[in-house]
Amino acid sequence: MAKRLHQKITVAQLADELGVTRNYLSQLFMKEEGIPLMDYIMEQKIRSSLQVLRYTKATYGEVAYQLGFSSQSHFGQAFKKVMGMTPKQYRDKYAT
């Protein structure tokens, strides 16, 4: 899945590729990992954005696009949910 973090990823796509139902995959992931599959995917996408925000001057829109978010706004909302701060706050605090 790490190779695909720069694309839109859905539970339906993953389930189809694995030959299982969406419900089965979601329930199995929740049982094994303790978090919903989509929350895990979102967290991984946000974590992959940290290096870009910290070490490049890419715009927030460019980062959102690179990670397959539908918009900069959606990326910002997801980022804040995972990190507890906005992408701008993160960059202001940690950029070198």
Q: What is the pLDDT of residues 10-27, one digit of tens each?
A: 899 999 999 999 999 999
Which residues, in sequence order, are CB contacts of 75 under 8 Å at separation 6+?
Answer: 49, 60, 63, 64, 67, 69, 87
Residue 6: the pLDDT is: 73
CB 33 within 8 A of CB 72: no
Number of domains within the chain: 1
Q: What CATH number is given to the structural domain containing 46?
A: 1.10.10.60
The per-residue pLDDT for range 48-83, each reduced to its tens digit, is: 999 999 999 999 999 999 999 999 999 999 999 999
- Please write down the long-range contacts of 79-83, taking CB distance under 8 Å and 24 or more positions apart: 79/46, 79/49, 81/42, 82/42, 82/43, 82/46, 82/47, 83/46
CB-CB contact of 21 with 12 (8 Å): no
Domain boundaries, position 10: 2-94
**Distance separating alpha carbons of residues 71 and 17, to the nearest angstrom:** 26
**Which pTM value belongs to this model?**
0.84
